[in-house]
Chains A and B, each alone.
Chain A
């Protein structure tokens, strides 16, 4: 069983976590076309390589971000949303 390191709770078994999917861009609903908004809602890139995802530590209901290689399943780093701006 994989171990995921929660920025709040430290390394824990992966079955304590829930994935909330890749971080999406944040289009302005007021200026986005219907077609683009529908795409924003329903289409996920499902890309290979390193992606940034939202994860939740279920028992503590804590949300954080993880950079994960979707091809190898290697987790490169986990970090808090506050640190998101400090992405390298």
Chain B
């Protein structure tokens, strides 16, 4: 293994060798090496096979921007070999290979290229049968063309998120970014600088004659306390109002910046000729990165294709590194290497004016043809121009235009707190880049009201020379690649235009140009040039395709949310656990399902039901929504929100609340207790209270009634004591409330003190039994509960859970909004016309209810019961269909076995014409069996309501 002597290779630590395996073979590099550099140092240039033709491919950019350098790690597919550092024992394999990288059994695909013209996917894989694509072609293509392999047993990794804020975010730590960041920080701005590479400096870390400037900038940056430098950090998108995701390893920094300077640099572009994808052909910047970062000699005998001053600098670098320089080829008419060319000439290098038309070699470059002459070489370096890194600016609304005179893309920024500086702004020389960065920094300082100067834009004599417009003609034998990721050749794009495609967006979809991992970084300009020429338009007219986030691939872990779903517990959670409750999640809440040993569930639930029907039970109803509606207009407000009338409701009385939306659909119910002329305490269903609260304020934002609504759901806890002996329990409590039949009638409510706790008491319930509901501030919940349990000892008061509650409510035929109603249920369909005021001039949904009533009753919720053994399968369960003439007309919404009535009971929507009591309806059980039942009322138990009003 030979490396260039220091100072070449400042990123590697020659004292620390690191061994790893690539395709089973052991290689040794140094600490700081990336996979591609250590392989190149060992003369292993081939890294992968291409996507479609399985051609040998190696590194081209050393910047992590093409698919050819993607390799497989054991639990990580598509890792960039030119950016991923090696570690001891790392196992690396090549991707997209059938067999081995060196002997790919699919290499013959290269010879079949003419049978796979552009767009052939769309034509070939349609037949022969209807499902041929899904059954045959797609699996085959996935196997042939897929990139890495996902390890479904990969170890779990932790991903973190953080929020960052700053005055100025500078994206890119090259000469421009560093200068701008330092300039702004020195003037007092709070600055973050994000750099993708492991070190700051950008092109200064590998470009010729840059070390003094870099040294100076690094020193100044270190001296700025208000400049936060984040290396290895990818800025993966721009979102509205300067919100940018910064990704470093497994951590996502959601960053909000007042001002942003994009100093993202430029992307060097490859040249187009036959076999331009052979390993050994690379960009000038790639050769410089190999030498200066990793001390890797990129070849032994080189040809340099130089169309700009940087090309000549690379040639000088290669000479310094001991590479034999066969020739410098300058495609510009007359060439214009200037002083740099003279420096080369004095070292005996000849310059050839002309172009490279073809490269030769099988697995590595062997020679190139320049102007008809074949020149043996193992390295071809291309410096023919660059495009600004347009992705982030364009995501932020910048427009990309083409400057015909200088053969380059220009960016025009939108009117926003956003700036560009340096080579992304079309500048090239150190002086111009630095001045431009200072200019942008002072624009930012002016916006931030910090000391600033006005600095004029800069002219860069060198930038004028940086690009030239090549004539791209398709090589007769093809394999002149525009997009290496997708194996797109010049003729593919030309054919697409012949097929009638003119718009780049459509050409992209038809040919897949720019769809690979490089996302057009190396193909957008060439594609625009080819399409412009083929359609007789200017490049300004063809443009480029839309840039969208993300800038580079990101792992799903970075995007995933946290793993802590919101979870709510009542004040009595620990008490329920102490009593042996089986706690289950209901929405966000945890509620007791039943109390006792899980193996006896059914028996225990039956006992809980029996306790309520025959004695007394208590249910924690703290999850119930609670709203306080207060103000002079409170009655009027409730009149408009709910279907019943509340203005004349006496203080100390409860009234049912039914809420419909504007479409006349039932969306919630509850109970309103009037505590004072201007104060109602309103309950809402557990799942809907947040929405009801929002809706109430939304309507009042429009009505502007003098009323205030407060969501007190969490502030109050509640317990419902229910059963024939409930009165004995509450009367045994130490309280100032008269709980007697005479003193506290059904549907009355009051405030008082129980066991020293302030309570709101209501004679309401869901079970159909004598019920008292006591609500108290949640901080007192345990005290009140313990007092209730103590008071209930004489009658063996039993706490019961949610399942018993469901049975009790169904026995009584009470509906559950959301279970027995859906998005269309009207009050009429529930038989709730008694709950809809006919005299009120307005409530939400009134008009729609009337309009729907005029159209007739399409369905109605009916009670149904089935005399079948408890475990019988011949009983329709929830969501089973109700059939009429074999056509579904409704479904079962609730179905349970009633231990009280010893039969199955259900609520179901039946056809509107079948809603009369006694009408036989047909239902289809889950097992397919059809059963008949007569329509009943909702209340299966105590239909005359005798028990609850005692």
Contacts and interface: CB of A to CB of B under 8 A. Distances in A.
B684 to A, nearest CB: 14
A37 B698 contact: no
A82 B704 CA distance: 8
A19 to B, nearest CB: 11
A81 B701 contact: yes
B698 A3 contact: no
Contacts of B243: 1-2, 13
Interface string B847-877: 1100100000000000000000000000000
B239 A41 contact: no
Contact of B701 (A1, A30, A54): A54
A86 interface: no
Given A30-B841, A81-B702, A82-B704, A63 B697 contact: yes
The A interface is mostly helix, strand or loop, or mixed, namely mixed
B241 interface: yes
Interface in A22-56: 26, 29-30, 32, 34, 37-38, 41, 54, 56
Contacts of B254: 1
B711 A34 contact: no
Interface string B678-701: 000000000000000110011001
A42 to B, nearest CB: 8
B775 interface: no
Interface residues of B, number: 22
Contact of B241 (A2, A20, A62, A63): A2
A63 B701 CA distance: 6
A20 B240 CA distance: 21
Contacts of A34: 851
Contacts of A38: 851
Contacts of B256: 1
A41 B698 contact: no
A61 interface: yes
Nearest to B700: A63
Contacts, number: 49
B120 interface: no
A41 B701 contact: no
B619 interface: no
The B interface is mostly helix, strand or loop, or mixed, namely mixed
Nearest to B242: A3
A37 B693 contact: no
A26 to B, nearest CB: 8
**Which bucket holds chain A's interface residue count?**
20 to 34
Indicate the member of B254, B842, B847 with the most A CB atoms within 10 Å.
Answer: B847
Given A1-B243, A41-B662, A54 B698 contact: yes
Contacts of A41: 662-663, 848
Indicate the member of A3, A32, A61, A81 with the most B CB atoms within 10 Å.
Answer: A61
Indicate the member of A1, A56, A62, A64 with the most B CB atoms within 10 Å.
Answer: A1
A81 B704 contact: yes
B241 A29 contact: no
Interface string B699-713: 001101000000100
B698 A29 contact: no
Nearest to A18: B694
A41 to B, nearest CB: 6
Interface string B369-387: 0000000000000000000
Nearest to A32: B847
Contacts of A20: 698
Interface in B240-261: 240-241, 243, 254, 256
B561 to A, nearest CB: 12
B691 to A, nearest CB: 11
Nearest to B847: A29
A1 B698 contact: no
B240 A1 contact: yes
B846 interface: yes
Interface string B819-848: 000000000000000000000011000111
B847 A37 contact: yes
B240 A73 contact: yes
Given A29-B842, A34-B851, A61-B694, A3 B241 contact: yes
A63 B698 contact: yes
A23 B663 CA distance: 17
A7 to B, nearest CB: 11
A71 B243 CA distance: 21
Contacts of B241: 1-3
Nearest to B397: A72
Given A81-B704, A82-B704, A61 B697 contact: yes
A63 B695 CA distance: 10
Contacts of B697: 56, 61-63
Nearest to B243: A1
B698 A56 contact: yes
Nearest to B701: A63
A18 B256 CA distance: 21
Nearest to A58: B694
6 nearest CB pairs, A to B: A63-B701, A2-B240, A29-B847, A1-B243, A3-B241, A81-B701
8 contacts: A1-B243, A3-B240, A29-B842, A29-B846, A29-B847, A30-B841, A54-B701, A56-B697
